[in-house]
Amino acid sequence: MTKNEFLKMYEEILKTRKGTKQEQGILGSADDRKKCNFTGVYAIFNNDVLVYVGSGYTPITHDVNARLNQYVSKGDNGNTLLKKVLADGLALDEDSAIKLIKTFEFISFEHNDLENELIGQTQLDWNIKGKKQ
């Protein structure tokens, strides 16, 4: 699913729910991640292809900014992307995986309960909850 296809799907979902912010950026930019100091959901793209949907729903400790920061931190137990990049052979070691992850783009949305619905609709390989059975 491309970024534009994802945004169209998201807009359709929002017709029945409230959602407010949309922040976009590159994971490698601390300034981009800092804009996401709210709770909500995010979508991560590699070369304009949606690869992961996640959430940060706990104010202060696990808002979207905190979750996005985990993905560019080596050795962080919450770094799902690092594990997926390595498992899929996109990088040979943690350093090169982090370097690749820093090039990924993201879109984040201030929303309270959308993660499971987005995972269910996108069926991404990198989202365990979204794996097709």
Q: Is the dihedral of CA 96, 89, 2, 131 positive or negative?
A: negative
The pLDDT score that the predictor gives to residue 126 is 72
In the sheet with 22-26, reading across from the earlier edge strand, the strands are 22-26, 105-110, 40-46, 49-56
Alpha-carbon span 33 to 105, nearest angstrom: 10
The pLDDT score that the predictor gives to residue 7 is 86
Q: What is the pLDDT of residues 84-111, one digit of tens each?
A: 899 889 999 999 999 999 999 999 888 7
Residue 19 has pLDDT above 70, yes or no: no
**How many Cα atoms within 13 Å fall on the side-chain side of residue 118?**
30
Q: What is the pLDDT of residues 42-81, one digit of tens each?
A: 999 999 999 988 888 776 668 899 989 989 988 767 678 8
Average pLDDT, stretch 14-35?
Answer: 86
Mean pLDDT check: name the lowest of 1-10, 101-110, 113-122.
113-122
If one compares 85 and 121, the residue with the highest pLDDT of the two is 85
> What is the residue-wise DSSP string for 49-78?
EEEEEEEE-BTTTBSHHHHHHHHTSTT-TT
Residue 27: count of CB within 10 angstroms of its CB: 23
Tokens in use for 19? 């959602």
The pLDDT score that the predictor gives to residue 131 is 46
Tokens in use for 44? 């991560």
Per-residue burial over 61-92, b = 16 or more CB atoms within 10 Å of its CB, e = otherwise = eebbbbbbbbbbeeeeeebbbbebbeeeeebe
Planar angle of CA 88, 105, 19, nearest 5 degrees: 115
